[in-house]
Amino acid sequence: MAKLPFLIGILLSSPGVLMAAEIDKADTAWMLISTALVMFMVPGLALFYGGLVRSMNVLSVVMQSLFAMGLMGLQWAILGYSLAWGSDHGGFVGGLEYLFLDGVGQEANGTIPHVLFMMFQGMFAIITPALIGGSVVERIKFSSFCLFILAWGTLVYDPLCHMVWHPQGFLLTRGSLDFAGGTVVHISSGVSALVLALMVGKRKGYGKQSLPPHNLLFTLIGGALLWFGWFGFNAGSALSSGGLAANALVTTFLSAAAGLFSWTLAEWILIKKPSVLGALSGMLAGLVAITPAAGFVGPGPAILIGLVGGLVCYLGVRIKTRFGFDDSLDAFGVHGIGGIFGALATGLFASALVNPAGTDGVFYNLETGLHLLGEQILAIGVTVVYSVVVTFLLGKAIDLTLGLRVTEEEETQGLDATLHGESAYQS
């Protein structure tokens, strides 16, 4: 539904007359910069994650995101865009007419150039697999990780994107709402990250040594790029300039601010120390939680979603100490938990006044709201089950062939030197 302008464009025009739709230069200006903003999130993620590991592994972590830009960028142009956005097949996957971007040009798609729509969507297809890396840092084989995200992007992300956002996608047509990627991006990557972390196993020394972040300033810089870029991610998902984009930008900011506030406060009260990593994690939790809701809820609910989202994720990352798995950088704790919370909250707080293309959630209209909530739960369920199953199969296949994990010696000496032939720092 977030993709409404696109939907209208498609519905009103057979492909042959797509060129007839008109490009709006102001919408295009906003989508140009939004696309650039989402791209900027990828190095943001690299820095956010990179600062949190030990210095001997920082480059290996950075490389996961950086190389995803090349690998998944090309995959999207060659195959992924078509699988996600090509003509519908049963509500699950797109056709192959856009292979190698065939027929994707400057003509209007909605009110922006088709090629720009393709690229904006492509940035989501890059960052989503990169998110997964956070749970398996400091021990996964780089070659196996590359193979995994290539297959995962093709088999998980592209079809999910179709189901949730394509005008004939089965989750969209049933009525679930996901403005900018609660299910497609965060839940899918979050739960896959958990499965992969379980398969790869814990880091050597996990639970015994402390493995603290080596440079929180890089994490801060990464967090800054993520927050900044997220405005493009969420407000760009309006696919146009105007009131809806403005609403999405404002809800995005307020939820992030509220998440930052509540997580930090929780630490302050419980442990007496409000920390920078806590503030950044809360901000991230707020951003994740608002993602599916940004264009369907108003500023007030956005603050609530952020406040609760921060607390929910705070608990989310504490789970692992209870269950003893090593989701090293909390890809599941933040993106999985936060994404599920956000998708549910959309069912509660969505308002047709904010976005006529949406529905009233539980708090505004119990009838439509309960139906919406049901669809949200279905969408979450489909995303979780599908992601978990495919990730497990892919993980097993790779483990049995290439192997998922580096040797103990490589892990001990650090992946930067052993896999990438580099050291991040020289004194």
209 binds another protein (CB under 8 A): yes
Taking CB within 5 to 8 Å according to partner kind, which of another protein, its own copies, none is near residue 266?
another protein
Dihedral of the alpha carbons of 259, 263, 265, 266, in degrees to the nearest 10: 140
Single out the residue of 8, 13, 18, 23 in contact with its own copies (rule: CB under 8 A). Answer: 23
415 binds its own copies (CB under 8 A): no
Taking CB within 5 to 8 Å according to partner kind, which of another protein, its own copies, none is near residue 172?
none
326 binds another protein (CB under 8 A): no
Q: Crossing angle for the helix pair 188-200 and 114-132, nearest 10 degrees?
A: 30
407 binds another protein (CB under 8 A): no
Q: Which residue, 113 or 336, is less far from its own copies as judged by CB?
A: 113
28 binds its own copies (CB under 8 A): yes
221 binds its own copies (CB under 8 A): yes
Q: How many CA atoms lie within 13 A of 154 on its CB side?
A: 13
Taking CB within 5 to 8 Å according to partner kind, which of another protein, its own copies, none is near residue 74?
its own copies
What is the closest distance, in whole angstroms, from the C-beta atom of residue 356 to another protein in the complex? 40
208 binds another protein (CB under 8 A): yes
DSSP code at position 325? -
Token code pair at residue 335: 């993106």
Q: Which residue, 53 or 68, is less far from another protein as judged by CB?
A: 53
Taking CB within 5 to 8 Å according to partner kind, which of its own copies, another protein, none is near residue 396?
none
Of residues 52 through 71, those in contact with its own copies by CB under 8 A are 54-55, 58-59, 62-63, 66-67, 69-71
213 binds another protein (CB under 8 A): yes
What is the closest distance, in whole angstroms, from the C-beta atom of residue 380 to another protein in the complex? 24
Residue 63: name the closest of 186, 4, 166, 145 by CA. 145
Q: Which residue, 44 or 292, is less far from its own copies as judged by CB?
A: 44
Residue 333 near residue 327, CB atoms below 8 Å: yes
Over the window 327 to 366, marking each residue x when it contacts another protein by CB under 8 A and - when it does not, the resulting string is: ---x--x---------------------------------
Of residues 250 through 279, those in contact with its own copies by CB under 8 A are 250, 253-254, 256-258, 260-261, 264, 271, 273-277, 279
DSSP character string of 99-164:
GGGTT-SSSEETTEEHHHHHHHHHHHHHHHHHHHGGGSTTTB-HHHHHHHHHHHIIIIIHHHHHHH
324 binds another protein (CB under 8 A): no
Gap between the Cα atoms of 265 and 311, Å rounded: 9
Helix (H) or strand (E) holding 93: strand 93-94
Q: How crowded is residue 408: how many other Cβ atoms within 10 Å of its Cβ?
A: 10
288 binds its own copies (CB under 8 A): no
Gap between the Cα atoms of 169 and 117, Å rounded: 17
Residue 78: name the closest of 15, 150, 4 by CA. 150
Q: How crowded is residue 17: how many other Cβ atoms within 10 Å of its Cβ?
A: 10
Single out the residue of 173, 318, 366, 401 in contact with another protein (rule: CB under 8 A). Answer: 318
Gap between the Cα atoms of 307 and 309, Å rounded: 6
Type of residue at 49: Y
358 binds its own copies (CB under 8 A): no
Q: Would you tell me which residues interact with another protein (CB under 8 A)?
A: 205, 208-210, 212-213, 263, 266-267, 270-271, 273, 275, 277-278, 281, 314, 317-318, 321, 330, 333, 412, 417-418, 420-423, 427
